[in-house]
């Protein structure tokens, strides 16, 4: 294999890896985004209700930290946070790995384009 064809193979593989990662992660990201939106709406409504409490005369609130409902919500938010962290770390690792390959692919695209266009183009 020549040096040019070896570089061409690397360019194509880097592009295929990037596309595969995007395809694989897109459904997971849509799902996480939908869950994030629901949680954000719930948290925003909760905070608004807490800000409105003083207007209705309530000056203090007692929270039972052992209430099963509170524990379930806290465990759910913790699970989502860990999942979100996992996705972020996985994507960061992939982006770090692909940074050099993408730079080489961009350079290789410029060299490959004239050969793909054919002679006399």
Please give the average per-residue pLDDT across 34-59, as a whole number: 87
Burial 45-77 (b: 16+ CB within 10 A, else e): eeeeeeeeeeeeeeeeeeeeeeeeeeeeeeeee
| Number of domains making up the chain | 1
Tens of pLDDT, residue by residue over 89-109, are 887 787 777 776 777 777 777
Q: How far apart are the C-alpha atoms of 45 and 51, rounded to whole Å?
A: 10
CA distance 73 to 65: 11
11-44 tens-digit pLDDT: 777 777 877 777 777 777 777 778 778 888 888 8
Question: Does residue 25 contact residue 91 with C-beta atoms inside 8 Å?
Answer: yes
At 55 the pLDDT is 92
The domain of 66 spans: 3-117
Identify the residue whose tokens are 């194509």. Answer: 12
User: pTM for the full model?
Assistant: 0.51
Pick the more confident residue, 46 or 90.
46
């Amino acid at each position: 294999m020549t040096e040019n064809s070896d570089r061409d193979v690397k360019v194509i593989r880097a592009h295929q890896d990037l596309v595969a990662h995007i395809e694989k992660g897109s459904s997971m990201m849509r799902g996480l985004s939908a869950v994030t939106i629901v949680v954000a709406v719930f948290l925003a409504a909760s905070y608004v209700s807490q800000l409105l409490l003083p207007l209705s005369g309530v000056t203090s609130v007692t929270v039972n930290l052992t209430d099963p409902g509170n524990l379930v919500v806290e465990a759910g938010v913790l699970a989502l946070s860990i999942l979100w962290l996992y996705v972020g770390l996985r994507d960061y690792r992939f982006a770090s790995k692909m940074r050099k390959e993408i730079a080489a692919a961009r350079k290789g695209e410029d060299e490959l384009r004239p050969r793909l266009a054919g002679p006399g183009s």
